[in-house]
A and B are shown apart, each in its own frame.
Chain A
Amino acid sequence: QLQLQQSGPGLVTPSETLPLTCTVPGSSISSDSYYWGWIRQPPGKGLEWIGSIYYSGNAYYNPSLKRRVTVSVDTSKNQLSLTLTSVTSADTAVYFCARGIAAAYYFDSWGQGTQVTVSS
């Protein structure tokens, strides 16, 4: 398993933008063997996929969040990023980054999770 290190604000003001970062050790972020994703979990609820990005740069998003989400990779920093705009209390959740195995459709390594609360 890979140790993914997440960072970002724990508190975000409604209508503002949530930025989260996930640092990937080594050079696997540049490998075509993997893809990278963000998943969130509202309090007391299940896992919700947010979006994934592939080596090619192609990104795919949950249709329910697509208008507000951007997932990107910075290979120079070995970082995966999530930007979620116009947040509301419904976006309060634990956010996870994860590594996916290309062409096998599962996530084999997860970050430690970041608790994000949307509140004024």
Chain B
Amino acid sequence: SYELTQPPSVSVSPGQKATITCSGDKLGNKYASWYQQKPGQSPVLVIYKDSQRPSGIPERLSGSNLGNTATLTISGTQAMDEADYYCQAWNNSIVVFGGGTKLAVL
């Protein structure tokens, strides 16, 4: 079965750049999406089609997808960005989520 691997946690200082990776076999050949989830809330789509931002998502969030790795980058990280982030892809009619990364803004 297809798997997406994310680091369990990432720490970043306020104002710095945070990078969250998502690895999967030939992931670059598929569309990757990213969701942000804060405690007690439903996930929110923050990146789709590798690098597209839905309306209302700050420009400091960006995405890329090449080779086996999709990357979510948060530039100028703010305290409000502290959350769990999940990558997601679609493989042969099956939806796959990464295990999630807890972003700590310290």
Q: Give the total number of A-B pairs whose CB atoms are below 8 A apart.
A: 59
Min CB gap A102→B, angstroms: 11
| Interface secondary structure of B, over-half rule | strand
The answer to whether A106 and B49 touch (CB under 8 A), given A46-B99, A63-B1, A63-B94, is: yes
Please give the number of chain A residues whose Cβ is less than 8 angstroms from any Cβ of chain B in the complex.
Answer: 21
B42–A104 CB distance below 8 A: no
Shortest beta-carbon distance from A114 to chain B in Å = 11
Is there an interface contact between A110 and B43, defined as CB atoms closer than 8 Å? yes
State the interface size on chain B (CB cutoff 8 A): 26
B26 CB, nearest partner CB in chain A, Å: 15
- Give chain B residues whose Cβ lies under 8 Å from the Cβ of A105: 30-31, 33, 89-90, 95
Q: Which residues of A contact B54 (CB under 8 A)?
A: 108
Apart from A47-B35, A106-B33, list 18 A-B contacts with CB within 8 A: A46-B84, A46-B86, A46-B97, A46-B98, A47-B43, A47-B88, A47-B97, A47-B100, A49-B95, A49-B97, A52-B95, A62-B94, A63-B1, A104-B49, A105-B90, A106-B45, A110-B42, A113-B42
A interface with B by C-beta (< 8 Å): 37, 39, 46-49, 52, 60, 62-63, 96, 101, 104-108, 110-113
